[in-house]
Structure 1
């Protein structure tokens, strides 16, 4: 993980994040000054950012909003106060309403971004300066330390490019905390087709099967917001095992970028999970990212112990071989 420290200082009224990366400062500069690249990491997992405006000049403003898996929005606004390419920049960071205007009564802070060369690449230092101890305490209590750490730890994939970062690594699992895991897989194919493979019942039956010897027996899918779905599998003749399935509801859809659904094992009293699935295309390849929210660590570990990730890898291999060939 690139983030090495996040510390708040009540006397200096600052919060400082430090992260190291295997690229030069110019690459860091390019990422932080391009809204399309910023969108890939600025929000923490489950709260991706969308930049609605980005006027990068002294006196200019950037406006963005982050969207939760349930469709809640949280806005932010930057006013750029100093720019020193490629060494860094400063901005006043404010909580913003739906119009991108600062929210009265909420704290603003002065953010200072510094990009420095190191023997192994570069170091990002982000210092946020607060007007009072109460403002610092309020932001920290809102989860700023945890959120900024999770957000900046997403930067590796952006800095290196998808193929360099993920190609040939198969399905990767990261345990983020007691309730969240992130699963990623680079698919060698365009986003539009990878999206269809996840929402079209006819295509799903061709690849979403896990190990050989199983077939999808039910594929009822309504991906409209509020729509329900039900999918089930059963073993083919000669394959051991009992059939099972899942059902749930679509909470959010942003075709072809993101779909969020609940998932419940049909016929059981097991708690549901929230599955946040996103797709990003670069150079003809698509990074599929699945963020799963579990009710607790016990449920998380029980599900992961089923071999779910291995089954997903077999399915993704089949997608590339059958659907995308």
Structure 2
């Protein structure tokens, strides 16, 4: 084990806005509460899960390993309060990533449901902690358990190739994971998203549904439609700023300076464009969204969007005369 460096310095950041903070965690390190009626949610302050408590058993939506066995505790606590059975009968995967599904194995032999691509990817990954779903769908799937209804839909790749929309029409709730971090900026590289155009389109898709409550999969509180709209403004400002930077930063000095070292010239130019695009967004959203002033977060998100503008949309391309 390495010994911490007592001389290390750590940067200071702006105070978090109140809108970034969720409810206080209990002594076991989680918070569990009601979303609406028999739909509940669980958070450890960083990750989120949800479940339906029905007379025919519990339907769990995602099983993040950081929450882990606290999911079992939350289910036991809230089903006991509702005088309902605590047996988990179904587990729905939002997508295949281990940080949202890695505690699936804790629930044993349940009916697992996910997109067909989720099954393919989990079979590829061969992770015992994430058994592949037995029940799959391509476009949509309606799950009804104990009088509760859930609508699952796939609208194409976004954060991942298999990320689905989980709509609770009878509970006024949308669950869409790893797209909007309620009250916060995305983590590195646009929440580590694989399909940038799909990611940028996903909030619009979510807002086409009827809902009031939003489960985003991360951090400490539930969201609202206003939270999704704020996220859209943040992303739109990055897009606009990226277009402006692509049109204003001259690549010539970087390639002239590094000559035959082409990658050094490319890196210098793209870093300069990214920094120019990110700077006004960081300034605008510091104090509005949590961690907006942590430079690497908005900067790497800007880089991902900027590269999509260049590579997916053809923006900023320079054609040799």
TM-score when normalising by structure 1: 0.24
TM-score when normalising by structure 2: 0.24
By percentage of residues, which structure has more helix?
2
